[in-house]
Structure 1
């Protein structure tokens, strides 16, 4: 029996595989059901060869499946968990960005005198 990959390493590989803007966009577009490749191409501003390459990565990973109907090839999420993951990522980003904008607002309220304090500290 082969060596088992630790779960944290498998998760890192999974997130690395997701870590491409075109792949994320494809997954977002597939959240509401199968989408023909031509519609994906129309919605994502990339060359057909690039889209094809990214779809192949997603297909090999098992996250998406291709569906052929005559001459039309569509893609669909293999399971609903990916859509849940994308929604969770959106919630996390929203919280992070909200926190950052609140911090920015606080810094702006402090005004220019806070810069002088930073320079004193930074000496």
Structure 2
């Protein structure tokens, strides 16, 4: 059972392991969007965005609803927004540490 949980977690984090997918999740953290809206915000071509959305959808990270000719995407779980915020805090701390280390190296 524990191995299955670890595998599930690994698959979840694999779904996040792409810069465009992270950016899509950040955009969806602000609210639901159509594919065209996501493409415009990212300044990326449709096929690339659609491909990454398909990965996120297959891993149950985002959900989609078809309305007329549009598909509207949203975060499946609002906690993903918090996960991204915590990840940014961790990144910021690591960045501050790296900058501090580089400044120390320049002084020596």
TM-score normalised by length of structure 1: 0.79
20-29 or 44-53, which moves further after superposition? 44-53
Give the structure 2 partner of residue 50 of structure 1: 48
Q: Distance in 1 between matches of 2:35 and 2:23?
A: 13
What CA RMSD, in Å, does the superposition of the two structures yield over aligned residues? 1.6
CA distance in 2, matches of 1:31, 1:71: 23
Question: What residue ranges of structure 1 are gaps of 5+ in the alignment?
Answer: 111-123
Q: CA deviation at 1:101?
A: 0.6
Q: How many residues align?
A: 108
The answer to which structure, 1 or 2, has the higher relative contact order (CA under 8 A, 6+ apart) is 2
Q: After superposition, what is the alpha-carbon deviation per residue over 1:66-121, rounded to whole angstroms, capped at 9, x for unaligned? A: 122222221100111111110011000000000111111111111xxxxxxxxxxx
CA distance in 1, matches of 2:24, 2:3: 28
In structure 1, distance between residues paired with 2:43 and 2:20: 9
- Which has the higher Rg, Structure 1 or Structure 2? 1
Report runs of 4+ in structure 1 exceeding 6 Å deviation.
Answer: none
1:1-123 matched pairs, under 5 angstroms: 5-110=3-108
Q: TM-score, normalised by structure 2?
A: 0.89
Answer yes or no: is the 8 Å Cα contact 2:65–2:71 preserved in 1. yes
